[in-house]
């Protein structure tokens, strides 16, 4: 088994006197999709941002075997790529420029081959000259994933990437995450729905009030007892609608 | 860029010709030399303020930010006024203030931006930034008023201090231009070197950091370069407002948001704007010259209000 790309022990985030994330342990290895699951306010996005070094956290956090705190901003960006739920970009930058921002840490630019390849992989060639704020939410999401791919980072950390997507785009995004993991990247994805959590992840972490309530395979975590304990609902097996991408 | 260069050429021609007096020989050459220095000073001051405006708008992700709105110009002006006063008290006189004033302006601009950053770190929303800038600007103007009243005891000193407060290119000479020009040029080159991180900051601090931008380092250096540019500008022209707001906003629809394109265009446009305003200041009917800061304020204030209310309409989705 390969060494973990991200290794956290006792990861804790405080806001004032309150602990919004409490002593979380996790490991993510190349080739693996780790899903972070939990109800609203459980600390899913905070955990993702703590792994990225975007919020101050205590505990042990190592990225590619090195203490995260000792990594420069560029080094960290070369290892971990972030896909936010929504970008705060309101300026009218062209999509190619936005995707090209992913090349900053590597010293590349918006016109290089890596940017072009990332645009092509997300099917954005036809939109590359459009201003980013004029895109639909789903198209913006694809541009942000393309930007993350352009970084060349070995791990992708995504915050609810399918929250604003229709069912087809959501399934395509899950398929892409699986491809990226199969290519050797580590993928950490915050998911909101239980069905999509089971669909996309190799392993799941279920959070409740900032602490790990359950961890393991999707079958172990999305199971009657943990779901009842965390969400206060009963799991009805086979009761939900299922979808898959059409052959054509 | 060609259009901007054309506007600048016309403005320069007007600046050299407006208010012609009948003179020949050495007198005519001397007048032309003074007007040339004034023209270059106006261009450099405007370019520096416009470039500063682009940088602070990028740093704070706030299209309404500019050195005058954030109180930086008032801080630099107060620093310059204090330098004049201290020079007088220390016995240097004010015959060569160009040697001391830029340092006072730089200290004032740095102090003003440092205080602003301390407050903005606690609450970084757009309105708080503008309100803190307004309060700082008011505070520095009040302190400047105090310095002015103290300086009135000596006529020459009082006149120099008042010119600072109102903004004027009337007393600028070749020596001041030669002192300030390297600062403006250095600040402009530095701004271009920071263009890419500023582009990434348009997406917010978290996204910029995740893409490899050392946000603290960018913030620190942008503050230094903006202070240098504002200080260089104020040391020549005194306090002139709104240039850093007008030039970038007028250009964005044509050159876009990328800093590597916006910065050179803003430099040209800001320079041309101040030169034109100075021509207007000299040409407007008045007993003496209308202060340059009055003219830039008359153009800039309505534009600021327009942008403010357009931004509010967009925010509520009208």
pLDDT at position A54: 93
Q: Are A154 and A75 in contact (CB under 8 A)?
A: no
Angle at Cα A154 formed by Cα A152 and Cα A157, nearest 5°? 100
Domain annotation covers residue A127: no
Out of 1.10.3470.10, 2.60.40.10, 3.20.20.150, 3.50.50.60, the CATH code matching B43-305 is: 1.10.3470.10
User: Domain-by-domain residue ranges, chain B?
Assistant: 43-305
Q: What is the predicted pLDDT for the residue at B318? A: 39
pLDDT at B16 over 70: no
**Rounded alpha-carbon distances, angstroms, from residue B300 to A13, B190, B199, B240, B294:** 45, 26, 25, 10, 10
Residues of A in contact with B215 (CB under 8 A): 73
Nearest to A104 among B61, B213, B257 (CB): B213
What confidence tens digit (pLDDT) does each residue in A140-192 have? Answer: 999 999 999 999 999 999 999 988 788 888 888 899 999 999 999 999 999 98
Indicate which CATH number applies to the domain containing A41. Answer: 3.40.50.300
Cβ–Cβ under 8 Å, residues B105 and B80 = yes
Q: Is A85 helix (H, G, I), strand (E, B) or coil?
A: coil
Nearest to A177 by CA among A44, A32, A47, A68: A32
How large is the average pLDDT for residues B112-137?
78
A151 to chain B, closest Cα gap in Å: 8
A140 located within any domain: no
The answer to whether residue A39 is domain-embedded is: yes
B-interface mutation test, from A46, A73, A131, most B Cβ less than 10 A away: A73
Q: Is beta strand A155-159 parallel, antiparallel or unpaired with respect to A186-190? A: parallel
The answer to whether position A211 is within a domain reads yes
Q: Which residue has the tokens 């005891």?
A: B153
Nearest chain B residue to A83, by CA: B207
**Residue A14, domain extent:** 1-64+156-161+188-248
B315 confidence band (pLDDT: 50, 70, 90): very low
Whether residue B106 has pLDDT greater than 90: no
Position with higher pLDDT, A237 vs A101? A101
Q: Rounding to the nearest 10 degrees, give the CA dihedral for residues B169, B174, B180, B181.
A: 110
Pick the residue with more confidence: A92 or A207?
A207
Residue B316 has pLDDT above 50, yes or no: no
pLDDT in tens, B23-74: 666 666 677 677 778 889 999 999 999 999 999 898 888 777 888 888 888 8
Q: How many CB atoms lie within 10 A of CB A189?
A: 26
Q: What is the pLDDT of residues B172-220, one digit of tens each?
A: 778 888 888 999 999 999 999 999 999 999 998 899 999 999 988 898 8
**CB A47, CB A62: distance < 8 Å:** no
Residues 189-248 of B with CB under 8 A from A: 196-197, 199-200, 202-204, 206-207, 209-215
Is the whole-model pTM more than 0.95?
no
The reply to whether residue B211 touches residue A102, judged by beta carbons under 8 angstroms, is yes
């Amino acid at each position: 088994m390969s060494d973990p790309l991200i290794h956290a022990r006792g990861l804790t985030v405080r806001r004032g006197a309150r602990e919004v994330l409490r002593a979380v342990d996790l490991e993510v290895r190349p080739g693996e999709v780790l899903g972070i699951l939990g109800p609203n306010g459980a600390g899913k996005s905070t955990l993702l941002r703590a792994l990225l070094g975007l919020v101050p956290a205590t505990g042990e956090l190592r990225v590619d075997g090195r203490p995260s705190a000792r990594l420069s901003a560029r080094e960290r960006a070369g290892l971990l790529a972030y896909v936010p739920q929504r970008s705060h970009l309101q300026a009218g930058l062209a999509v190619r420029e936005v995707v090209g921002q992913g090349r900053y840490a590597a010293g590349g630019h918006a016109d290089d081959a890596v940017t072009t390849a990332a645009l092509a992989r997300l099917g954005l060639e036809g939109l590359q000259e459009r201003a980013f704020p004029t895109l639909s939410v789903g198209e913006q999401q694809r541009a942000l994933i393309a930007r993350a791919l352009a970084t060349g980072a070995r791990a992708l950390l995504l915050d609810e990437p399918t929250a604003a997507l229709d069912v087809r785009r959501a399934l395509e995004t899950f398929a892409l995450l699986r491809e990226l993991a199969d290519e050797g990247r580590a993928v950490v994805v915050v998911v909101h729905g239980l069905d999509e959590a089971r669909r996309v992840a190799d392993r799941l972490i279920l959070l409740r009030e900032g602490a790990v309530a359950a961890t393991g395979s999707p079958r172990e975590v999305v199971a009657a007892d943990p779901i009842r304990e965390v969400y206060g609902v009963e799991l009805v097996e086979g009761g939900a609608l299922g979808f898959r991408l059409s052959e054509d | 860029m060609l259009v901007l260069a054309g506007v600048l050429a016309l403005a320069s021609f007007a600046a050299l010709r407006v208010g012609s007096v009948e003179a020949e020989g050495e007198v005519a050459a001397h007048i032309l030399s003074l007007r040339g220095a004034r023209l270059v000073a106006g261009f450099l001051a405007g370019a520096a303020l416009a470039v500063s405006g682009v940088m602070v708008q990028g740093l704070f992700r706030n299209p309404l930010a500019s050195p005058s709105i954030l109180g930086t110009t008032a801080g630099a002006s107060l620093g310059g006024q204090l330098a004049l006063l201290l020079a007088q008290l220390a016995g240097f006189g004010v015959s060569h203030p160009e040697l001391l004033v830029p340092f006072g302006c730089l200290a004032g601009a740095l102090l003003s931006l440092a205080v602003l950053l301390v407050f903005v770190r606690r609450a970084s929303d757009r309105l708080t930034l503008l309100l803190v800038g307004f309060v700082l600007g008011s505070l520095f103007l009040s302190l400047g008023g105090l310095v002015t009243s103290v300086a009135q005891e000596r006529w020459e000193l009082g006149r120099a201090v008042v010119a600072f407060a109102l903004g004027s290119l009337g007393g600028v000479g070749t020596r001041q231009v030669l002192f300030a020009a390297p600062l403006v040029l250095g600040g402009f080159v530095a701004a271009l070197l920071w263009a890419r991180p500023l582009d990434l900051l348009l997406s917010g601090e978290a996204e910029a950091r995740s893409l490899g931008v050392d946000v603290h380092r960018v913030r620190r250096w942008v503050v230094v370069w903006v202070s240098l540019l504002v200080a260089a500008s104020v040391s020549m022209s005194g306090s002139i407002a709104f240039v850093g707001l007008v030039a970038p906003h007028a250009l964005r629809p044509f050159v876009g948001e990328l800093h590597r394109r916006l910065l050179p265009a803003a430099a040209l446009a800001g320079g041309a704007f101040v030169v034109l305003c100075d021509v207007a200041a000299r040409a407007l009917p008045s007993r003496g010259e209308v202060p340059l800061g009055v003219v830039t304020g008359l153009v800039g204030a309505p534009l600021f209000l327009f942008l403010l209310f357009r931004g509010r309409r967009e925010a509520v989705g009208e």
